[in-house]
Amino acid sequence: MCLELYAVPAVAGRVSPDRLERVSGLRVKKQRRPVEGALHFSRDGGCSCSLMTDDADWNASEWALEPSILTGLAAALQLIDEEAGGFTFQAVWIGDETHARERVALRDVLKDVRENRVKNKLVYVVGKAG
């Protein structure tokens, strides 16, 4: 099982994975899941487990991400918001279902990312994203 961390822009095609990689320092791939146009984040092009600390607990209510990736991830999400008018964002273990969708302000999701408090099984909805 693996962690999968995705952002789905409200308007597809406005920001490229290459540009997000330059801004974030992470690997970003466009994928078809959880929906068409999802942007998947990792360090190495594989699953998002590479973004977690060694002692992260996949049952915890918040993910323990590597502190070194937080600023870059926040910068990528901010760029998606600016260029695509919003996004959905989630970090979930493969095979698990998200439990809730919560409409939040950009500043709130960026705060959760920067403070290493990304919620497990939650879809953050920002801006014009549905």
Average pLDDT over residues 69-84: 98
The pTM of this model reads 0.95
- Name beta bridge partners: 92: 4
Number of domains comprising the chain: 1
Tell me the residue range of the domain where 11 lies: 3-127
> What's the average model confidence in pLDDT over 76-90?
97
31 — pLDDT class (breaks 50, 70, 90):
very high
- Mean pLDDT for the chain overall: 95
Q: Among candidates 68, 80, 102, 97, which has minimal Cα distance to 28?
A: 80
For 45-65, the pLDDT digits (tens) are: 999 999 999 998 888 999 999
Kindly indicate the confidence band of residue 74, based on its pLDDT and cuts at 50, 70 and 90: very high
Q: Name every residue whose Cβ is closer than 8 Å to that of residue 31 and which is 6 or more positions away in sequence.
A: 6, 38, 39, 40
